[in-house]
Amino acid sequence: MPEPLVSVVVPMYNDRRTIDLCLESILAQTYPNIEVVVVDDASTDGCAERAAAHPVRLVRAPENGGPGASRNLGVRSTSGEIVFFLDADLTMHPDAVAQAVALFGEHPSYGAVFGIPDKEPLFAETLVGQYRILQYHYWRKSAEGLVSGGFYALGAVRRSAFLDAGWFNPALRQTEEIDHAERLAARWPMLLTSRIRGRLSDESRMRPLLRKAFVRSRLRVPFYLDRGRAMQGMETGGRAVASLLAGVAVAALPLVLLTPWAALVSTAAVAGTVLADLGQYGFVRRERGVPFLVFFTVAHLLVNAAVVAGLALGLGQYAVSRRFRRMYQLRAGAV
């Protein structure tokens, strides 16, 4: 049988720092039957010119539409039986596409196979960046297997499964992945696997990381309440408890000067949030030692507190805004 054509779709917005490495990793794939489409989402940093210097097809969006609209445009511009999505701030290992094709051959019922970024970052990172890469790797590695959440930054989807699930909703700028994956998982099994690997460059400063955690958490509220559950895989009950306890720990800190009980409550909450996801902290200690574990714990506490704050605001919006409640019920056609 002829090898299926794999269309690698790279959505890109102001990724000048990483796009060369990203495209070089695609062009170095061991799998031979590949087409590469880069979708420039109205970038302003010159990354489109960098991408155009590679033997790829560059598609320019007329205006910034977000990752969902970019991925839709990329799929429309390709013809492969398999669509491999790769974000522009990632590289993939040389056998990533070959592994995806092999997995689809081994499991004809699977609609998507998603990869796991390495525990080592793409670049030398700040402490915040190191925290983020380790946390990102561990959560995905611990969820390896069948999932209901999609990881379209590094993963392949059968074109037939993608079209069956429908297009990304371009109105969703931060949560388009969970919306699309929910529709896909309802029809096709999806696998998260370390057989597909890459390297990631993520947030390296605390403020943008906290903002992202807050916004994504807020926008997930109607998704969770509509379905009555979290996503299968990374979002475990223990991690939900850990987030709530982190919120308690941070909220109690301002009261420490008023009552010693606040210090006890905050300390107990920190201990509880560590115990609720103990495997993660053991992994970090083994990888980086105790001093970095202390930093990791503080950083993760802050991120979890931002998640709780986002959930609280989201619940308030859900109670008063019909539009917010229906944001995942409004299906956009295709852009």
Residues 232-238, mean pLDDT to the nearest whole number: 68
- Classified as helix, coil or strand, 44 is coil
Query: Residue 256: its pLDDT value, please?
Result: 63
201, amino acid identity? S
Global pTM reads 0.91
- Cα torsion angle, 273, 277, 279, 280, sign: negative
**Could you give the dihedral angle defined by the CA atoms of residues 283, 288, 289 and 291, in that order, rounded to the nearest 10 degrees?**
-120
Q: Which helix (H) or strand (E) holds 238?
A: helix 237-252
Average pLDDT rounded to a whole number, residues 178-190: 93
One-letter amino acid for residue 81 of the chain: E
Tokens of 322: 């019909």
Least confident of 21-30, 150-159, 187-196, 250-259: 250-259
- Dihedral in degrees, nearest 10, Cα atoms 119, 23, 65, 172: -30
pLDDT digits (tens, 9 = 90+) for 115-137: 999 999 999 999 999 999 999 99
Q: Are 19 and 50 in contact (CB under 8 A)?
A: yes
Q: What's the CA gap between 38 and 122, in Å, rounded?
A: 20
Report the pLDDT value the prediction gives residue 239, as an integer from 0 to 100: 77
Radius of gyration of the chain (CA): 20
Among candidate residues 43, 42, 31, 40, the one with its CA nearest the CA of residue 7: 31
Dihedral angle, C-alpha 107, 111, 116, 121, nearest 10 °: 140
| Confidence (pLDDT) at 226 | 84
pLDDT for position 107: 96
Q: Given a cut of 70, is residue 230 above it in pLDDT?
A: no
Residue-wise pLDDT for 207-224, tens only, equals 999 999 999 999 999 998
Nearest C-alpha neighbor of 155 from the set 107, 115, 95: 115
Backbone phi, then psi, for 46, in 5-degree steps? 85, 5
Write out pLDDT tens, residues 34-45: 999 999 999 999
Q: Which residue is listed with tokens 């596409």? A: 97
What does the pLDDT read at residue 331? 56
User: How confident is the model at residue 270, as a pLDDT?
Assistant: 84
Under a CB-based contact definition with an 8 Å cutoff, are residues 94 and 28 in contact?
yes
Strands (E), the chain: 6-12, 34-40, 57-60, 82-86, 90-92, 112-117, 145-146, 154-158, 190-200
Task: Dump pLDDT digits (tens) for 241-269.
Answer: 888 888 887 877 776 656 777 778 888 88
C-alpha to C-alpha distance for 146 and 112, rounded to whole angstroms: 10
Q: Concatenated DSSP letters for 44-60?
A: SSSHHHHHHTSSSEEEE
pLDDT above 50 (res 333) = no
Say how many C-beta atoms besides its own lie within 10 A of residue 113's C-beta. 27
